[in-house]
Each structure stands twice: as structure tokens, then as C-alpha cells.
Amino acid sequence: MFILPAYVANGAPVIFGGGKPLDLGKSFRGKRIFGDHKTIRGLISGLLSGFIISLLESFIFPFMLVIGTAMSFGTHAGDLFGSFVKRRIGMKEGESFAVLDQYLFFIFALLFALPFGMSHFPDIWGLVFITVLTGILHLLTNRAAFKLNLKKVPW
């Protein structure tokens, strides 16, 4: 339950995204800032979905409203930072960069949540578990989204 807001915030744009690019087609030093795949609707749907999950979890665990919302913001900050880095090093949209694509959203989600609830964080074994789970789920959900024609690439 702890990492669920980040997972939902990360996956929602695949379903609800599309439309106008977040960077509005602008470039930085001759390269797109994020690219066409990072959209305004995707960002809003991800943040809203993560917040809704956080709100629902807060009925059982009140601390999850703030922590989960922070993780939702962190998820998108990490994802956007990853896209920005990939554009800077010349990678095309949709091109795979294994560690960056699989774990940066997760790392940023945890970093954004840290100031709001270190005492509620999982212990080291819990963090190991959700780290392994993140890698497995990222692989499986991206392949499923590809087979359902929600994504153009299976990663």
C-alpha cells in the first residue's frame, strides 16, 4: 500500500494521457525539453490519480494523504527528469534506458515523500521488496500496455 500512489501516478498517463506536450514543443539547447510523450493531460491525470489513491488510503492510514501525494509529485518529477536527461544525451522518445526508465520515478517518489514521514517508511527489507517489485511490475505492466496498444514500445 505504501508505494501504490506512486505506481498509480506513474501508470495513469499511459491510459489517460495524450494531447498537448507539456513542453509545448519548446527546445533547450537545440533539443526538445521532454518530447511529445510527456503531455499536460498525462501529468494532470497522473497527479490526480495518485492523489485519489492517497485519499482512499488515508481512511485507513491518515499519514498516507500527505506521503502519497508527495510520492505522486515525485513520480512525475522523476519521470520528467529522466526524459530531460534522455533528450540531452540524444536518445529519441520511446528509446529504452533501463535503469532510468524503471527506477527514476520510484527514487524520486521516495525522495519527495521522505520529508513527510520517515517514521512511516518501510524498513530496509520492505524497501528491498518494493524495489524488486517495482522492477518486475514495470516490466509486466509495460508489456501489457504494449499488447493492449496503449504504448508503442514494450518497455
> What does the domain layout of the chain look like in residue ranges?
4-147
Under DSSP, is residue 89 helix (H, G, I), strand (E, B) or coil?
coil
- The structure's pTM equals 0.91
pLDDT tens-digit map of 76-127 = 999 999 999 999 999 988 888 888 888 999 999 999 999 998 889 999 999 9
The answer to whether residue 155 scores a pLDDT higher than 80 is no
pLDDT tens-digit map of 44-76 = 999 999 999 999 999 999 999 999 999 999 999
Q: How far apart are CA 135 and CA 65, in angstroms?
A: 25
Helices marked H in 17-63? 40-58
Banded model confidence at residue 154, pLDDT cuts 50, 70, 90: confident
Cell numbers linked to 37: 510523450
